Chain A
């Protein structure tokens, strides 16, 4: 048994971008997001897309049909160095998987399941569809992601329309805080967080699938833009829904003061369940996507049959999510730091993508 390979198109990549970039943050940390990012939150995915898009474009154009990022690193850097880099990626994805699994399980429990369900059961429920998706491969994940991301967009458009009469266009401008934050006012931690996911998806899926480099880059950029727009309405919506208009207004977000004036804000909590339903679906799909990425990276490090690999990774993810993040503080510490493990690989790929064509040609197996 091997994981199914396949090819995704630009719209599916767009859907994957939205799901991977939004699902975790919207489901798990809306309050945290606003606390950290404030009015700059919506700007953050676009800031992350600034390096991610040319990176994906350059690597995609150069790599051509020479395999995915795992094969590419091995070919260019040799088995040892590539394994070291992949090990760092592996570590980042492993932590990410544990965080996602834990947060989705907790989110599902808090939002939907009043019955007392043990955490291991919830974690298993989160991992089962993910494992199935990972086994079905990127095409099935892409197909599911397209529809669910469309659902997310529609849901947030409705949410946005509900609050837009009370908004002012100037509120959407990014704010550069006085304490000299990173690019364009987006908080540095969140920028890294956003950066990882489009880069990972772009590189891994792009080389798996071989659409044109322009489309991959376009897909990521479009995903980032949509994510920003959705975040603008979604974060406000969720905070109002989660904390109530009065408490939400106490956050350091001037825009939320207007929420008190919303005549229908009392209904938001109920409608919020529908919103969370769509997000939950997105988060479950994201688990599948990242499990697939994790398995691909693992295959690049050690040769293991997929039949053993996927269940092992799922079990490892389940156990680590239960053990590592039983303490919420541990999760808070990890969520903004694990992405750093992936940066060396990112920069190496970025650098090699600008090597002269001859270098690529001479190393091509063809």
Chain B
């Protein structure tokens, strides 16, 4: 009996699905009761579905958890119960709906709809009431100077933040609805005249063509916009409105999605990875100094462990004798080869990092102390690891946090492992070889037609004023980075 019951439930479910799919594009021309019943069935008769008759002619329908009931009363129930005495005033507030699909979308996006007897279709009123927070500074992008605001999970609030920051008549805003099950709304911003038409065309085309199964955060959309094989991020992201303003002024396109506090910045080039908002709130010389160290941090985190392996195990002739002797002395009695020692340390540090991320902040600090002091020091005292190796790997790890983009830092941490292996096999030549491959890879990368290493290569002298060295703001001209690869470079 149970099997038959299960089968019947399953068949009903299938029929309902087929029914919903078939009817979403159909016009609402049936009788009042039939329309109500069909909408109920298409939604699966959820517990928060509220169906309120207003007199004998009208029925109002909404999802009570996502609408403001007082607004439903003021916008729909009140005016409709007065027997349509002011149609022009109503028409301003209500939008007509013709199909079941539109009616479903309206209900799911916090609207209340009104169905009238002997009138096909429905009317929808915007009565949404979504959970909302203040636009506070994002914890992942805290700065010491500058505005302390951040995007939130509401598209309309984020649009308002952009409009507030860029009161430019050339600012353009286009709406997209993702072709996904979530039907997420997305907003596309750019400044006409600054944005490259080619880039814009590519972004529009990509947004129209992607078919994500679900978009709950803009970073999910970013993964659909770029080839999955890319090791470095070719779409930038930020939760700070001021960074988005800067990107717009640089001629980049900003994409916001509903439900996500993250703005996508397109195109993204390598130079953007070194830039933080503070750079523009500090004097040029300070910003340049900090950027230079960020660049050194980038190189250091990528190569320091591999360099140590090659210099300490293969190319000892390049190390000054006193330094080499102290390394050799520290390694006396270590029961594993240097490369294995470094890889073990790298893996341990990666484990500690991930453990720290998943724990509450108070536990995270404990893990850091246990990792750094207890494990590190104990391992050295026990003669399992050498002190120089711990120092080298720790310095490399700390350097990775200098980078503003954690996605990049992660890519660099991944790349450290093959470089260490190459250095242990072929010495400095292996390291140079690995770096060349990485450089070739970066040179071949493009972000929506813009070469990833631009403006360094292909060289654009004007673009260099805001790469490692940041020119004085009085002389800095924006809108130079986000240019696509021209037909002739």
Instruction: Point out residues on A near B: beta carbons under 8 Å.
Output: 6-9, 11-12, 108-109, 111-115, 117, 125, 128-129, 132-133, 136, 139-140, 142-144, 146-147, 209-211, 270, 273, 277, 280-281, 284-285
Contact = CB atoms under 8 A, between A and B. Distances in A.
7 smallest CB-CB distances across A and B, nearest first, come from A112-B429, A112-B428, A143-B443, A143-B457, A7-B488, A146-B457, A108-B429
9 contacts: A9-B458, A112-B428, A113-B427, A114-B315, A115-B426, A117-B426, A140-B443, A143-B457, A211-B488
Given A132-B437, A211-B488, A144 B426 contact: no
A9 B489 contact: yes
| B contact patch SS | helix
Contacts of B439: 144, 147
Contacts, number: 98
B432 A147 contact: no
Nearest to B427: A113
Interface string B418-443: 00000001111110110011011001
Contacts of A210: 488
A210 B488 CA distance: 8
Given A144-B443, A146-B458, A209-B488, A112 B427 contact: yes
A280 B429 CA distance: 9
Interface of B: 314-318, 425-430, 432-433, 436-437, 439-440, 443-444, 451, 453, 456-459, 485, 487-489
A132 B459 contact: no
Contacts of B487: 7
A6 B317 CA distance: 43
Contact of B489 (A12, A114, A117): A12
Contacts of A270: 318
A161 B318 CA distance: 23
A117 B425 CA distance: 9
Contact of B456 (A9, A115, A147, A284): A147
Contact of A113 (B316, B426, B485): B426
Contacts of B489: 6-9, 12, 139, 142-143
Given A143-B457, A210-B488, A273-B318, A113 B430 contact: yes
The residue among B317, B426, B444, B489 with the most chain A CB atoms within 10 A of its own CB is B489
A8 to B, nearest CB: 6
Contacts of B426: 112-113, 115, 117, 125
B422 to A, nearest CB: 9
B436 A143 contact: no
A310 to B, nearest CB: 15
Contacts of A146: 456-459
Given A7-B488, A108-B429, A209-B488, A113 B314 contact: yes
The residue among B427, B443, B456 with the most chain A CB atoms within 10 A of its own CB is B443
A277 B432 contact: yes
A133 B437 CA distance: 9
A15 to B, nearest CB: 8
B432 A281 contact: yes
Contacts of B425: 115, 117
A12 B443 contact: no
B31 to A, nearest CB: 62
Given A113-B426, A113-B427, A129 B488 contact: no
A115 B314 contact: yes
A111 B451 CA distance: 33
A211 B489 CA distance: 9
Contacts of B453: 143, 147
Contacts of B488: 7, 9, 209-211
Contacts of B314: 113-115
B429 A140 contact: no
Nearest to B441: A132
Contact of A273 (B428, B437, B456): B428
A129 B458 contact: no
Contacts of A133: 440
A11 to B, nearest CB: 5
Contacts of B485: 139
A226 B308 CA distance: 34
A343 B489 CA distance: 30
Contacts of B437: 128-129, 132
A52 B425 CA distance: 43
Given A113-B427, A115-B427, A129 B457 contact: no
A8 B316 CA distance: 41
